[in-house]
Structure 1
């Protein structure tokens, strides 16, 4: 049964900001529990305790929403992994773990639908199969007490509309968050488009007009290359809007993290070595402040997210989640500290030594 705590639409209606931490695929791959390429959330089946820990870590850092790790937990992906027989167990385990943690932390649970990788506008005969896969995931989310449904990472507007149709038909009235992933480069007349050649801003507008409660963008682009698109969307789409970039320093030359290259070798770095382009915490703080200025209420981070990024995002909104107890504080550092209790004679000598070493070419 869904929780009675303040829901997504109530929070948005009260002009609150909602933080949704995502990025589990990269999180678990870095921890040794996920195979990139295949992309199936097998960790839910093999190590559910690790998934529960990740949920708790992101809530501790300031996330208001636990997005159940059912991304790529649909039949097409599990078929490739040879684990289609485990599909219901995977989805319900991820959802039930999220519900458990949410009930203990007063947060919200989101069921999660994703791109299926088989949608194509030239093959409408596949649509019934796609909707059937989304339908069962939606029904499991409802059964396990989700408070909302997220449907994300759609390069095709048409597939995003299928997801919205399923949520409206089988989601029992749960709020929907639909996000597109504008990976397509180059763009139409300088503007981002979907894979079915619709301006991203227009696609979001159509999704909202069709009944999506929150629309926006996720994945692919870092804060610097996602924010300009969000500004375009805001001009035609009143909101509420969602923004969940990847925490990497994408640029106008390399606007998605798929395109990022190693500055030393020129080789593509996605996915294993993309970390060399990681955002700083200050980058994330600036992203949160800009979202606040623009009135983008549903914000988070996608692939590459870590707890310290989510904490930085929360603190950019003037929040102090439990993890803020351990935020950086150099005031008592033995060299750089400014606190009166720091032994200044030791600190000054150490600082002089550090500066001296920094001036030496060879040690």
Structure 2
């Protein structure tokens, strides 16, 4: 039988592969800027392969790619009529891939996210947000997802609305927050305070995702872990954020000599600012050590990065057979069958 999310959390760390947004843009199937996952309708096979790559890299869950697939985003691009078909197809494709897992069928999670219209001083905006979440969660329920991931909320109250609408449908909820550079949620709550409240209200997992790399997320994960009795999630971006630049929205270019057409490196010029997979693995070990239970990576992460994270916390993935092994490399290997004249040349290569 397929274990539930809660059962898997009880057994050890759950690996959650995110990052489809940047990955599909990098693969050529999504537009940077609007960042709407039309790929679920336009190129379903490309989306299925992306789901598959992250699952085989260690993700216990196939997260339906409906991030930004809400009514406001669809309105902006003039395609509201595609809202429901896009949401339902993204879930159905995820379910198809989840069944392919060779040892245990992967979980399938529905996905709702920050709406960018929430205004704490405008009751109508709150009602609008609730209606947007309600219809998406209803489709998730009808498509029989295992749980719903509500993510990247930078307002506490918006996260609470998301949780309430998930609970209305009787589904488990993972709620993660995106912390801007002010180091506080935009309606004045600290992340640890917000997570404590969300956990007490019944969220199965609470924590943080996106915006921040390991260095600038980890201190807040420690605060959340100290404040929350339940399960905690951490899904940083794989970029070298710093105390001076704690999010990827304003990271400097790191010495790029070319002309950048945008005001910042975000979102299409972040390439030189990546952490390598070994640094991300070290973060994952640190996260596990402090008691983070739901571990993954967010925007910018590749399957290879996720595999390193999974292996770092003791998970053998479907594709661990392809993990690096330099023993037979013609220059750097140590296998006795290698050509000695090549191995002796490696310091000059």
TM exceeds 0.5? yes
**How many angstroms does 1:352 deviate by?**
5.2
Conserved? CA contact 1:99–1:144, under 8 Å = no
8 Å CA contact 1:109, 1:147 repeated in 2: yes
What is the aligned partner in structure 1 of residue 142 from structure 2?
143
CA distance in 1, matches of 2:66, 2:106: 18
Report the equivalent of 1:86.
82
Instruction: Tell me if 1:289 matches 2:288.
Output: no
Match of 2:175 in 1: 178
1:211 partner SS: coil
- Please give the residue correspondences for 1:88-103 in structure 2 after superposition, counting only pairs within 5 Å: 88-103=84-99
Match of 1:207 among 182, 193, 198: 198
**Bigger-Rg structure (1/2):** 1
Please state how far the C-alpha of 1:81 moved relative to its aligned partner: 1.1
Structure 2 distance, partners of 1:49, 1:351, is 42
CA distance in 2, matches of 1:206, 1:200: 10
Contact 2:225 2:291 (8 Å CA) reproduced: no
TM (norm. structure 1) is 0.91
TM-score, normalising length: structure 2: 0.95
The answer (yes or no) to whether the contact 2:254–2:272 under 8 Å persists in 1 is no
* Runs of 4 or more above 6 Å deviation: none
**CA offset at residue 129 of structure 1?**
1.7
> Over residues 60-98 of structure 1, what are the superposed CA-to-partner deviations in whole Å (9 max), with x where a residue is unaligned?
111101110001111111011111101111001000001
SS of the residue aligned with 1:215? strand
Deviations 1:136-186 (A, max 9, x none): 11111111120010000000001000000101112xx2210000101142x
1:40 corresponds to which of 36, 40, 48: 36
Distance in 1 (CA, whole Å) between partners of 2:232 and 2:167 is: 19
Aligned to 2:162: 163
Could you say which residue in structure 1 is the equivalent of 2:253? Answer: 262
Which whole-Å CA distance do the structure 2 matches of 1:82 and 1:341 have between them?
62
Structure 1 residue aligned with 2:73: 77
Deviation at 1:322, TM superposition (A): 2.1
Q: Distance in 1 between matches of 2:319 and 2:330?
A: 23
Please give the alpha-carbon distance, in whole angstroms, between the structure 1 residues aligned to 2:325 and 2:99.
Answer: 32
The answer (yes or no) to whether the contact 1:99–1:145 under 8 Å persists in 2 is no
Partner of 1:278: 274
| 3-state SS in 2 of match to 1:130 | helix
Structure 1's unaligned 5+ residue stretches are 186-191, 355-363
